[in-house]
Amino acid sequence: MSPAQPTLAMSPIISPSLSGPPLGLENRPLIRRVSTSSVKSIASAIVASASSSVVSLPAAGDVEVVKEEGLKHADITLEARQYTKAPFLQKLLDCIRTLKISSWLNQNIVPQDVKVDKVSGSLTNAVFFVSCPTTPEAKTLLLRIYGPSSGEMISRPRELHTLHILSSQYGLGPRVYGTFENGRIEEYFDSKALTASDTRNPQISRWIGARMAELHSVDVEVIEETSAETRGEGKGWEISAKKNVKAWLGPAKEVLQLPALSQADREELDLDKFKQDWDRYMKWLASVDDVTNASRRVFAHNDAQYGNLLRLTKVKDGLAPHRQIIVVDFEYASPNPATFDIANHFHEWTANYHSSTPHLLDPSRYPTPSERRNFYASYLEHAHKGAPLTDAELTAQLDKLDEQIRYWSPSSHAMWAVWGIVQARDDLQNDVKEPEFDYIGYAKCRMASFRREIAALL
């Protein structure tokens, strides 16, 4: 991977006494996954510095048509590989006009005026910036063209629904202007990705805490389309830490049977034993963390690593300082305990995806008690409704929050361990000797961390 470089925002955003580290963390590196946002950030930096870079683009084919009630739709298909050709530009302009994007309604705009810059591309997604240099009032747009997708880990319809609800009902995130047969067009924001060191900056950490509190204020039932009568686990929705482990365990077991995987790795991961440990941990967790009275169930991001946190390059007058932080990539966003989301973010402090060893985590970088307290104070300030908390009340809530984060920390390890196994499928099936990212190694480390932490808790 390349060193850290400025990165443009390519994804939806949200606009405008403490103890030591988590249980079982040892002072040795842990292998960590590369998030979709990290990969996209690197791709955009490459494109910015070398326009001749080769980026694979999806071919038009069997792609699910994704629509959302309340969003305009154009019955147009765009072939990503043809993005430099005149027919593509004409169809793109037709699409923009069908969606009635206001800043592009100037009828003097012709296809040859449209500039399309490739940002990233893969078998499942291609992202472009669309601009019109001859018409300054035509705002830059973000064009996303879908490719074939297994759908095993991410639901595109759910993602679109989430983005639309956040922007249209809560004023959070960019406007999704509309969809077409194999993609969508979104509002563009000029921003740069945070770096690993940025998350350690006390002020930026407070801003992140504030933004997370705002996301957690979104009504889960609005996103999940449930009601008071159907809310709760086993009815309207289920917390995703449990739901994902349940859904991914079957595919993970299939991956462990692939012949390219060593017997030693199968035994170390041992999903049958994991399932027993997971069930035991869930039973214990239910006894100490009631669904309604302990850790709040919220609409959580679930992947708040620094590559998914951007900062606006220009801040408008009057904008609250913390709103210059942008949260991107909602593929895994879903109901979870607030403390799961925070615990997961704290694990991300130990990562540096732009180092010489981007796949390794350094547990010594886990936030200290004072750094955690700094984050908690901002989070609670923006999450609390009503009269300001007294010092005693604030201290009590800080302590309770830290304790609950220790309870939920193992579930983050468990969920991403199973995720890592499933993600290793392609490399194992193709017998890749030196994969870009060691998903099995990552899964083994997260599995070991899960087992260490529950051993200390139970």
SS3 content of the chain, % helix, strand, coil (to 5): 45, 10, 40
Burial class (CB in 10 A: 0-12, 13-18, 19+), 264: exposed
pTM for the whole structure: 0.78
CA dist 9 and 308 (Å) reads: 9
- pLDDT tens digits for range 174-208: 789 999 999 999 998 888 889 999 999 999 999 99
The pLDDT value given to residue 40 = 37
pLDDT at residue 337 greater than cutoff 50? yes
Helix H or strand E segment including 178: strand 176-180
Least confident of 170-174, 267-271, 293-297: 293-297
Whether 190 and 141 have beta carbons less than 8 Å apart is answered as no
Angle at 310 between CA 162 and CA 212, to 5 degrees: 55
Band of the pLDDT at 64, cuts 50, 70, 90? confident
Mean pLDDT, rounded, for 324-329: 86
CA dist 38 and 380 (Å) reads: 29
- pLDDT tens digits for range 38-50: 333 333 333 333 3
- Domains annotated on the chain, with CATH: 49-187 (3.30.200.20), 196-457 (3.90.1200.10)
Q: Annotate 247-281 with DSSP letters as a single string.
A: HHHHHHHHHHTSTTS-HHHHHHH-HHHHHHHHHHH
Instruction: Return phi, psi of residue 433, to 5°.
Output: -75, -35
Whether 127 and 40 have beta carbons less than 8 Å apart is answered as yes
The mean of the pLDDT values for the chain is 82
Helix H or strand E segment including 42: helix 36-49
Least confident of 146-150, 188-192, 353-357, 377-381: 146-150
Above pLDDT 70, what percent of the chain?
Answer: 79
CA 418 to the chain's CA centroid? 17
pLDDT at residue 122 greater than cutoff 60? no
